[in-house]
Structure 1
Amino acid sequence: MIVFPWVLAGVVSLLPGGMTAVSAAHGAGGPGPRPIVIGHRGACAYRPEHTLLSYETAVQMGADFIEPDLVSTRDHVLVARHENEISATTDVATHPEFATRRTTKVIDGRRLTGWFTEDFTLEELRTLRAVERLPGLRPGSAAFDGRARIATFDEIAALARRAGVGLYPETKHPGYFASIGLPLEEPMLATLGRYGWRERSDPVFIQSFETANLKALRGRTRLRLIQLLESSGAPQDLVLAGDPRTYRDLSTPEGLREIATYADGIGPSVRLVVPTDAGGTLQAPTTLVEDAHRAGLAVHVWTIRPENSQLPADFRVGDPAAPGYASAHGDVAGWLRRLYELGVDGVFTDDPGIARRTVDGLRTPVRPVPRPPSGAARPRS
């Protein structure tokens, strides 16, 4: 892995416990003066997501944390994939030896047809290669199709430890995996423990869209936990339990106080912080950040993406009629500054370089960051 000199000198200078200079200054990710930069699936605006290529690029661009989504193989090894269904993120469809593995399953209420990690051993998955999930939007990332195999959580943890950055794993569909005898929590905690990460002060956050597994984890680990919040729908475990509460209910002051009994922060969709209208124009911000801080919770919002089509209309740049407008990068720094003004404690971003420059520019001169080649009342949330 190539690590640029400024990375070695600054972002990943290790402090006791493996904490980076930035995360330490930030108070280890809680409400504080230094928002953290979370490389969402690595730096997936530039490399196929959840690959070591993507995570290495995120480190080089200055991420404080790298984020793997964790799913299980048939032999109970954790690997990083956006979903356990892998037809859009690997070349599995080109492998005739796995043609009969194509099947249809219901995962958290959604009927999906394709190939699923839990039907493959790690050795079998190693024969596949990763591809960009959104090639039309990210041709530069798609240029790296086929160059990386599926990464294990152990490999990602080893990379994070070597680079001195934090880990921000998400348990994907934890209830489903537990139901088929492949729970994610045990091997995840075992891997983190092998690399010395067990304490609240360690640079690790564990996140989930479900609530039950976080509550169970609270009794098993001192590592920090993050309740993810969608802008619509409800946690699958609550749905299955007949609990009528939605993510919006969990985002109220009452819901946040309950979350604070088992988690250290929330990871809300940015739409819960600043809604948009039908045209994508920003509306008045909600009180979610203030309410969460009042409950003692950190707020790490997702996901900040650089492409015009993924930004609020207020921060899109260029002529909408021009070719390539949707995939062209807009004013991401402006959008980030707006969120930092609202007091968020961190951002999940597909472009950690822009976030790094923006965070540093809040209080210090902006340093050059190498970029990979492209190939009125305030409403409550």
Structure 2
Amino acid sequence: MEPMPSIHSRASVGPLSRLAGWKSARRCTAIALLTATSLVSACQHRSGSSGPTSRAMVPSARPIVIAHRGASGHRPEHTLAAYTLAVQMGADYIEPDLVSTKDGVLVARHENEIGGTTDVAERFPDRRRHKAIDGDTITGWFTEDFTLTELRTLRAKERLPFRSHAYDGQYPVPTFEEVLALADSLGRARGRVVGVYPETKHPTYFRSIGLPLEPALLRALTARGFDRPDAPVFIQSFEDGNLRALRPQTRVPLIYLIGAGTLSPDKLRDIATFANGIGVHQRMLVGADSSATPTPLVRDAHAAGLQVHVWTLRSEPVFLAKRYGGDPLAEVREMQRLGVDGIFGDFPDIVVKGLSRAP
């Protein structure tokens, strides 16, 4: 299991995250968006400069299903194939983690170090570097050392050894623009909204090297008419510094990611001044033991006007707490009973099934 940092370790500069960090929508003519305090009616989409889109409304079913890095339990993470499969399985949102290329293009990778998720070591063996990123010393290959043209020559591979590697070498690294276009296309084809849930990865680091993530992110969303509070978009980050900076720049809902620790009501009220919700590790809601008592976090967050999205549900035994007896559906159902507003899952088909919904 990936380590969970202290709640205090993710300010503007903190240790490098290795956290996994990440419902089928009702077909109807009027659906609602879950905002920080309640459900409010969705309004018609206003077209951006890139042309009209079918995504005039946002998913309303609770909890929303967020495909963590796409259907990353079935296909190499952060590929268009993984995102497409996730939507076919019934996910409401697809989650692209965003990093920058050398020429300032946002691409979807869980980390800027891409040695474990692409064939970069074989194609560019001389680009291996040692870097200090958010307090950690990392050795590998980094997106900021490659132009987009160079990254286009790479192919994705499965990160975990115990998952299928049948699709290794088949898919390129997608840009954020391509992810947005895919979500729009899939939404049109299926007749329902497909939301996008981007995460800014290491924003302080990228800003320090002259490649800030936020301007390109906001430009891409604004071009599609998504600079509005009812857009089918959440922006997430482990850093409160960039979320506080983003708050006056966008009306898109913001989610503060937290991996561990205790969140007091006062802390939650402070978070509510710059974010619309929190994304928390499931063990912050209930422990791993069968006798564990749920914490009051969901109740307290809702009282502060915050949504609660939980991450990351995975179906393999190595990830399941023993309280679920090897049944991943039991974990989904417990999260639903606890009242969460969104569930991140590597296997969106399992989340959808656990919620007793059709794809």
Q: Same fold (TM over 0.5)?
A: yes
Distance 2:328 2:255 in 1: 25
Pick from 339, 342, 345 the counterpart of residue 341 of structure 2: 345
Structure 1 residue 190 corresponds to structure 2 residue 190: no
Give the aligned partner of residue 94 of structure 2: 66
Over residues 228-265 of structure 1, what are the superposed CA-to-partner deviations in whole Å (9 max), with x where a residue is unaligned? Answer: 0011xxxxxxxxxxxxxxxx35x221111000001000
Secondary structure of the residue aligned to 1:113 is strand
TM-score w.r.t. the length of structure 1 is 0.78
Structure 1 residue 126 corresponds to structure 2 residue 160: no
Aligned-residue CA RMSD (Å): 2.1
Code of the residue aligned with 2:282 in structure 1: it is: V
Distance 2:243 2:336 in 1: 27
Code of the residue aligned with 2:302 in structure 1: it is: H
Code of the residue aligned with 1:285 in structure 2: it is: P
The answer to whether the 8 Å contact 1:11/1:62 transfers is no
Over residues 157-187 of structure 1, what are the superposed CA-to-partner deviations in whole Å (9 max), with x where a residue is unaligned? Answer: 1111222200000000000000000000000
Code of the residue aligned with 1:269 in structure 2: it is: H
The answer to whether the 8 Å contact 1:161/1:195 transfers is no
TM-score w.r.t. the length of structure 2 is 0.82
Change (3 A) 1:222 1:313: same
Structure 1 residue 99, shift from structure 2 partner = 2.0
User: What pairs with 1:12-161 in structure 2 (closer than 5 Å)?
Assistant: 16-17=44-45, 23-26=58-61, 34-95=62-123, 98-134=124-160, 136-139=161-164, 142-161=165-184
The answer to whether the 8 Å contact 2:68/2:94 transfers is yes
Secondary structure of the residue aligned to 1:38 is strand
User: What pairs with 1:348-363 in structure 2 (closer than 5 Å)?
Assistant: 348-359=344-355, 361=356
The answer to whether the 8 Å contact 2:277/2:308 transfers is yes
Give the aligned partner of residue 191 of structure 2: none
Code of the residue aligned with 1:25 in structure 2: it is: S
Secondary structure of the residue aligned to 1:309 is coil
With a CA cutoff of 8 Å and minimum separation of 6, indicate the structure with the bigger relative contact order. Answer: 2
Give the aligned partner of residue 258 of structure 1: 270
Q: Which runs of 4+ in 1 moved over 6 A?
A: 11-15
Over residues 273-314 of structure 1, what are the superposed CA-to-partner deviations in whole Å (9 max), with x where a residue is unaligned? Answer: 11225xxx5621111111100000000000001111111112
Pick from 176, 179, 203 the counterpart of residue 208 of structure 2: 179
Structure 1 residue 137, shift from structure 2 partner = 1.9
Give the aligned partner of residue 315 of structure 2: 306
Secondary structure of the residue aligned to 2:207 is helix
Code of the residue aligned with 2:284 in structure 1: it is: L
Structure 1 residue 286 corresponds to structure 2 residue 295: yes
Structure 1 residue 225, shift from structure 2 partner = 0.2
Secondary structure of the residue aligned to 1:348 is strand
**Which consecutive residues of structure 2, in runs of 5 or more, have no partner in the other structure?**
1-23, 32-41, 46-53, 188-193
User: What pairs with 1:213-232 in structure 2 (closer than 5 Å)?
Assistant: 213-231=242-260
Would you say how many aligned residue pairs link Structure 1 and Structure 2?
Answer: 311
Structure 1 residue 105, shift from structure 2 partner = 0.5
Secondary structure of the residue aligned to 1:219 is helix
Distance 1:180 1:10 in 2: 45
Give the aligned partner of residue 4 of structure 1: none
Change (3 A) 1:19 1:288: farther
Structure 1 residue 212 corresponds to structure 2 residue 238: no
Structure 1 residue 138, shift from structure 2 partner = 0.7
Distance 2:305 2:26 in 1: 32
Change (3 A) 1:20 1:197: closer
Distance 1:176 1:108 in 2: 6
Over residues 44-71 of structure 1, what are the superposed CA-to-partner deviations in whole Å (9 max), with x where a residue is unaligned? Answer: 0000000001000001001100000000
Code of the residue aligned with 1:129 in structure 2: it is: R
Distance 1:56 1:357 in 2: 18
Distance 1:260 1:129 in 2: 40
Distance 1:60 1:185 in 2: 30
Structure 1 residue 19, shift from structure 2 partner = 5.0
Decide which structure has greater helix share: 1
Change (3 A) 1:104 1:11: farther
The answer to whether the 8 Å contact 2:285/2:296 transfers is yes
Change (3 A) 1:266 1:11: farther
Change (3 A) 1:162 1:13: farther
Code of the residue aligned with 2:346 in structure 1: it is: D
Q: Which has the larger radius of gyration?
A: 1
The answer to whether the 8 Å contact 1:158/1:195 transfers is no
Distance 1:264 1:353 in 2: 27
Secondary structure of the residue aligned to 2:318 is helix
Structure 1 residue 12, shift from structure 2 partner = 12
Code of the residue aligned with 2:304 in structure 1: it is: A
The answer to whether the 8 Å contact 2:78/2:110 transfers is yes
